[in-house]
Structure 1
Amino acid sequence: MKIEQNADQCSSEGQNTLLLQVRRQTERVARWLLQQTLSKPALDHMRTCAALALPQLPLWLTSSPSHQTQALQWQAAGVSGGLAMKVLAVQEAQSLLELSQCSNDSGQLAEHMRMYLALGEALELKWLALAIEQLPRESRWQTLARLAVRDDLQRLHKELFMQAWQQSPDNLSEWLAQNSSSERERVSAMFTELRAATPDLAMISAALRELRHRLIVKTALSEV
């Protein structure tokens, strides 16, 4: 990724931030892969999807307002736009690999990823992920708790995507309109309250339970 090549433009603090982001996300993807039980065909499919889609992921992220905001912040610190988007793509690598399990058609992955990202923006899941990153990790238990809620959010995001794609393929606006306006208003009010505070672990855990209760259909989800 050649982060060090920005040394003459980016502060040492900025370089350390990018390197830390890449290291953390690489460790998370490795941990997730080790937790999976994949057959050889499933693993081959995932490798194909990664080879085809990962180089395109920085381009797909340009449609995400939150990713664009983060990229602009890094660019202000001297990071090139292209490098910023590549680091952001590393942050979404696990999501990409998880979505590759939703369909045997690697050609659908771009559409899946775009809807997944748009869903995260529409339901403020991306903001919640950033709030989780701000939780303290001064002890082993705090670190494990933060890891647990981040995994919970990742699972919820994928389940919501699968539900939305099943009901309204490639049409997020239609799916959002199908949901009860009162439920969406409650979710919006919850996030307004969270944004006005400094969310702690208990608040974030309660928010995840509320999102699941309000938005996940109480039926078994089939494959996309």
Structure 2
Amino acid sequence: MNFDALIQTIALAAIPVLFAITLHEAAHGYAARHFGDLTAYQQGRISLNPLHHIDPVGTILLPLLTLFVGGILFGWAKPVPVNFSALRRPKQDMLWVALAGPLANLVMALFWGGMIKVALMFPENYFAEPLIGMAQIGVTINAVLLVLNLLPLPPLDGGRIAISLLPHRQAFQLAKVEPYGMVILILLAVVPIGGQPILSWILSPLVTSFIQFVETIF
């Protein structure tokens, strides 16, 4: 990718990437407060202001790097603090707090899918082409975050959801994986099979299927 194309892509990606990552975390905070945990609220993390959620590496550097070198576009924000023991029904409510982030990405993916539809209705408009480019990135980044976070690996949201749904014995065994979860995820992201990281083998077909699902709706 040449420099001019990279700058154009960054300009189009900035808004959808920033909000995909930060609204995901804000949704966790809103859900936690609803179910009784005020930790995020007391720390000022229940906010739609992206500045409250930006992580220099995960929100800025990593998305820029993936845009530059190619591959799956993804990143993260500063995790919203959740004290699960403070929830009114910790094991049951953990499900909804964990699910809130991926649901936010689902809503945003559908929103950007709608924006593509709107832009295509006015192809002669000056803003149609850049809006389509921005919206396509919006659908993609939200699809990646939705699928990635639903993997049943603590501390990802899918791991929390699995812990909430499993019987106590199995949930306890899965919860013990959490200290090693990010190490496992990093290994999956860098260890290749057939020239492609294992994580890409897992995510790519699921992300593609979800994007096709959004396209069929609009």
Mark yes or no: TM-score above 0.5: no
Instruction: Identify the TM-score tier after normalising by the shorter chain.
Output: 0.3 to 0.5
